[in-house]
């Protein structure tokens, strides 16, 4: 009897061992199968599957990106971004606007918090190392705004004084690199920076000339004494580094809407009410993604 029990125990152990071995041998070809089922979806597929496109924009930079009295996103960048959503997903309401600051625009792309940045993003060589820029839709340079009774009309006048800038902007980069002798008073938000100027905490504020020209028009007592500073730059949408598919789609989209002068229409509806006839749209707008 004891020998029969021993035989049955050995038989059971053998059956279990064979089953375990057979299971392992079946799993091997499954793990080596890379024929496509495990491939991640393309960026555009992911956006379409999600049903929304996440676009990083400003909340406090009128007339380019801001929140209106009804709590809605408005501005030149938003106008164009809505068209992107309409042409990619069939409905402009499929644009989900993610509010960003100048200093975190790159980080939001790198961490996949947004698909596109359209927060008045100036193209620079330094930024090109971290993100991919599409073709441009706007021209820009730096400008200085200051009080009427103490106008700053040249950089030399800033010696021994404080200059207000936003962190992460081309203004901060330009003055840090070219005029380290000038003390910079830095802020995260546009509203904080302009309030500091109103409170006389700095002699002037440096920002995109498009921004300071618009601000001075709606704030009496201030003048853009230096409307152009440094080289002319461009503003463009940006995507995560290496996302060629979405980048190519944006470039094709800019070319397509350029045939109907859409960016000029965006200017007429969002910027002309601010600038009036004091600025020519062709001095700012780039149609079709190409500078003429």
Phi, psi (deg, nearest 5) at residue 162? -95, 140
- At which residue do the structure tokens 């707008």 appear? 285
Closest CA to 269 of 80, 69, 72: 80
40 touches 64 (CB < 8 A) = no
**What pLDDT, on a 0 to 100 scale, did the predictor assign at position 291?**
86
Architecture of domain 43-137+236-280: 3-Layer(aba) Sandwich (3.40)
**What pLDDT, on a 0 to 100 scale, did the predictor assign at position 292?**
73
pLDDT tens string, the chain, 292 residues long: the values are 444 444 444 444 454 444 443 343 333 333 333 333 334 569 999 999 999 999 999 999 999 999 999 999 999 999 999 999 999 999 999 999 999 999 999 999 999 999 999 999 999 999 999 999 999 999 999 999 999 999 999 999 999 999 999 999 999 999 999 999 999 999 999 999 999 999 999 999 999 999 999 999 999 999 999 999 988 999 999 999 999 999 999 999 999 999 999 999 999 999 999 999 888 899 899 999 998 7
* Structure-derived torsion over alpha carbons of residues 172, 173, 176, 178, reported in degrees to the nearest 10: -120
How big is the CA angle at 75 (ends 69 and 81), to the nearest 5 degrees? 125
Domains 43-137+236-280 and 140-232 share a fold: yes
CA distance 239 to 168: 17
**What pLDDT, on a 0 to 100 scale, did the predictor assign at position 165?**
98
CATH superfamily of this structure's domain 140-232: Periplasmic binding protein-like II (3.40.190.10)
**What pLDDT, on a 0 to 100 scale, did the predictor assign at position 278?**
81
Query: Domain segments of the chain: what residues?
Result: 43-137+236-280, 140-232
**What pLDDT, on a 0 to 100 scale, did the predictor assign at position 33?**
35
* Structure-derived torsion over alpha carbons of residues 63, 79, 174, 133, reported in degrees to the nearest 10: 180
Q: Which helix (H) or strand (E) holds 57?
A: strand 53-57
CA distance 218 to 212: 10
């Amino acid at each position: 009897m004891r020998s029969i029990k021993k035989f049955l125990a050995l038989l059971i152990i053998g059956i279990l061992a064979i089953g375990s071995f057979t299971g392992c041998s079946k799993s091997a070809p499954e793990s080596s199968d890379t024929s496509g089922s495990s491939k991640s979806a393309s960026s555009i597929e992911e956006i379409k599957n999600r049903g929304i496109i996440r676009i990083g924009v400003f909340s406090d930079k009128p007339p380019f990106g801001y929140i209106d009295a009804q709590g809605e996103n408005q501005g030149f960048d938003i106008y164009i971004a809505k068209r992107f959503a309409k042409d990619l997903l069939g409905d402009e309401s499929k644009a989900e606007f993610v509010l960003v600051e100048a200093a975190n625009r790159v980080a939001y792309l790198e961490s996949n918090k947004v698909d596109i940045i359209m927060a008045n993003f100036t193209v620079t060589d330094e930024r090109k190392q971290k993100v991919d820029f599409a073709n441009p839709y706007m021209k820009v340079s730096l400008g200085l705004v200051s009080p009427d009774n103490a106008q700053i009309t040249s950089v030399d006048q800033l010696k021994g004084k404080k200059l207000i800038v936003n962190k992460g902007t081309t203004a901060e980069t330009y003055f840090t690199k070219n005029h380290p002798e000038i003390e910079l008073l830095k802020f995260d938000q546009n509203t904080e920076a302009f309030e500091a100027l109103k409170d006389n905490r700095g002699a002037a504020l440096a920002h995109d000339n498009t921004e300071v020209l618009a601000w001075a028009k709606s704030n009496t007592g201030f003048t853009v004494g230096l409307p152009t500073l440094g080289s002319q730059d461009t503003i463009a949408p940006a995507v995560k580094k290496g996302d060629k598919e979405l980048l190519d789609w944006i470039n094709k989209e800019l070319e397509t809407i350029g045939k109907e002068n859409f960016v000029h229409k965006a200017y007429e509806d969002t910027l002309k009410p601010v600038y009036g006839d004091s600025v020519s749209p062709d001095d700012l707008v780039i149609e079709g993604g190409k500078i003429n």
